[in-house]
Amino acid sequence: MVKVKVERSHKEIVTIKIFDHAGYADAGQDLVCAGVSSISVGMMNALDLLVPETCIFQLKEAYVEIKTKQSNEKTLLLLEGMLVQLKTLQESYSSYITINDQEV
């Protein structure tokens, strides 16, 4: 199961961590993993292009981390948009993706 951990401070996203595999299908055929990867890598590219130097990215096998180092309205809007996309995926595949959104 893909796990998404969202950490907030004063209701603003400060970190998004995504890890593990969905297990929906075999590697290379897993639509849930492909969807999560597309959303997360696309958002990292958008953040890097549109609001450079506001986030720190980590990308490894079955692990993505986006951490804000400089919060601004555009960065927060993009991250909230990413979370909406992940929650939309979760609505259809709730057995394969879980989202934990919490204040730290």
User: What band does 71 get if pLDDT is binned at 50, 70 and 90?
Assistant: confident
- Percentage of residues in the chain having pLDDT higher than 70: 100
* pLDDT tens digits along 12-63: 999 999 999 999 999 889 999 999 999 999 999 999 999 999 999 999 999 9
| HEC per residue, 55-91 | EEEEEECCEEEEEECCCCHHHHHHHHHHHHHHHHHHH
Q: From residue 36, give the alpha-carbon distance in Å to each of 29, 67, 89.
A: 13, 17, 8
Expressed as residue numbers, the domain containing 50 is: 2-99
The pLDDT of 7-13, averaged and rounded, is 96
**pTM for this entry:** 0.94
Q: Residue 28: inside a domain, yes or no? A: yes
CATH number at residue 71: 3.30.70.1490
Q: Residue 104: inside a domain, yes or no? A: no
Q: Residue 29: inside a domain, yes or no? A: yes
- 45 exposed, middle or buried (CB, 10 Å; 0-12, 13-18, 19+)? exposed
Q: Residue 37: inside a domain, yes or no? A: yes
The pLDDT of 85-98, averaged and rounded, is 97
In the chain, the number of structural domains is 1
Q: Residue 63: inside a domain, yes or no? A: yes
* Nearest one of 62, 78, 75 to 18, comparing CA atoms: 62
Q: Residue 53: inside a domain, yes or no? A: yes
Q: Residue 27: inside a domain, yes or no? A: yes
Contact 57, 66 (CB under 8 A): yes
